[in-house]
Amino acid sequence: MHKDGLDRRTFLKTTGVTSLSAMLGQDFAKAAETYGKMPMRTLGRTGLKVSMIGLGGYHAAVPEKEEDSIAIIHRALDLGITFFDNADCYMKGSAEERMGKGLEGHRQKVVLMTKVDQRDAKGSLETLETSLRRLRTDYVDVWQFHGVQTVAELEKIFAPNGAMETAEKAKKDGKIRFVGMTGHFDPQVHLEAVKRYPLDTIMMPTNVVDPHFKSFRRTAMDEAVKRGVGILAFKTLAFGRIVSLKVTSPDEALRWVWSQPISVLISGCDSLAVLNYNVYLAKTFKPMSENQQAELLARTGSHAGIAVEEYKRG
């Protein structure tokens, strides 16, 4: 399993979305249903229309009972979410398995993404076939190289016998439609990736602390947008530490993220309460003005560093 997956187990015990669920004193279920249609955005040059909030895949395996996970997936569909995230390594594959069951019968209505940790052609092909089987589909819309931390890793993916060879063949065979990359450690790697390679999407930490420390927003996002790469925002609450450390409120934090030039905010939801609340925020979203954004960042600057964004430790 990728180290990103291992780290999350610890975080979820003490911080994160679970603490958000506990603090919600109001039932947002009705509000999530009645505030109109889900706002949609275009996923870069792919041309795909996607919901501005996507359901995070790791959390598909967080609830103890599988039926609770599937209930969250079905509720997301009912509320208008069309973008579903996952990865081969999440909870040793059980996240993909649960999402596959939850999306059965709904596959043509959604944009489905998963990720691969292997950097070589042979290993990545085996992983892709396993992911397709778990997800109960014969193709994924977006396949991303997961957790790329160094330029050397990036070069291995795109070298002869690298994972990009698998992606190119899989596109020809109709098993994937678009190719992307994720990473959470070094924004310079993201910048090099969008400059060097024809990626369709790129996934990066985007939150109100990021601009102050090893910033993906300031380093790589604008270049990616300029090149037509679809931006997928994740770690938008920094494993919940933005909430638990009282950096700012979750509604203000997510509103700032949506005010950036992103296509989808990936939201990890381990309960129906969190899902309802986040969908309510998406449906009532109004962009922050430049002055509002500047004022918020002025308040969050003192939290810069790994106390909030631990994953940038490497």
For residue 245, give the CATH number of its domain: 3.20.20.100
| 2 burial level (CB within 10 Å; 0-12, 13-18, 19+) | middle
Confidence grade of residue 314 (pLDDT, cut at 50, 70, 90)? low
Please give the Cα distance from 207 to 27 (Å, whole number).
25
- State whether residue 120 is helix, strand or coil: strand
Helix 163-172 vs helix 121-135: angle between axes, to the nearest 10 degrees?
50
Domains: count for the chain = 1
For range 4-29, the mean pLDDT: 51
Identify whether the C-beta of residue 156 lies closer than 8 Å to the C-beta of residue 162. yes
The pLDDT tens digits of the residues spanning 21-33 come to 545 546 899 999 9
Confidence grade of residue 9 (pLDDT, cut at 50, 70, 90)? very low
% residues pLDDT > 70 (the chain): 91
What's the pTM? 0.92
Q: What is the domain range of residue 172?
A: 3-313
